[in-house]
Chains A and B, each alone.
Chain A
């Protein structure tokens, strides 16, 4: 069975600083995908970044990067140059290669202060 663990219920970061949100996963699949989503207080779930298990390079999307360490089964999200608008819940998720079912972690609430 697949499992996602996010051990940080809440994080604080000062504006313009970088922050790392932790995510570890467990799966017996050889091929899988890892995702990060952002959920502002308004409720919509916004797709941020994706990493395939066979991708050798860490994924990047603008200020977001995914620090993928396959041997450690971790897929941490790094947000560089934090902005006030980054304050939100962040969810890590994964799916197997032959299914689109997503398994989510319980989320990390990030608060960016001036």
Chain B
């Protein structure tokens, strides 16, 4: 089975802090994704990556950056956390760009910015 692991289930940070959310997958997937989920808005794509050291902006990249130094690890960075970034963050991975592949998700990180 695919295993996508997010480093924290719950996280509380303060406004202005630099926040790192880590995601690791163990299935040698090429593609990795970061979403945020807010009530009534569904899931929105922040950033994604099709390869090591490669990144592409999703629909709401402002205020975020990402890092993919190794194939299995994809980090989301909040450069200067703000209260409107309080949300549920979900990481996902999928096998490759060939054809349509399901994405497999981690358990999510509930992030609160105070």
Contacts and interface: CB of A to CB of B under 8 A. Distances in A.
Nearest to A43: B108
Interface residues of B, number: 28
A86 B92 CA distance: 22
A28 to B, nearest CB: 16
B45 A102 contact: yes
A24 B42 CA distance: 15
Contacts of A101: 33, 45, 48, 58
A45 B108 contact: yes
Interface bracket on A: 20 to 34
Interface string B90-114: 1010100101111111111010000
Interface string A83-114: 00000000101011111111011110000000
Nearest to B107: A44
B45 A100 contact: no
Q: Which of A35, A42, A43 has the most CB of B within 10 A?
A: A43
Given A33-B100, A50-B100, A97-B100, A91 B110 contact: no
A100 B56 CA distance: 12
A15 to B, nearest CB: 27
Interface of A: 31-33, 35, 37, 42-47, 50, 52, 91, 93, 95-102, 104-107
Interface of B: 9, 31, 33, 40-45, 48, 50, 58, 88, 90, 92, 94, 97, 99-108, 110
Given A52-B100, A100-B50, A100-B97, 13 more contacts: A37-B105, A43-B88, A44-B106, A44-B107, A44-B108, A45-B105, A47-B104, A98-B97, A100-B31, A100-B48, A101-B48, A105-B42, A107-B42
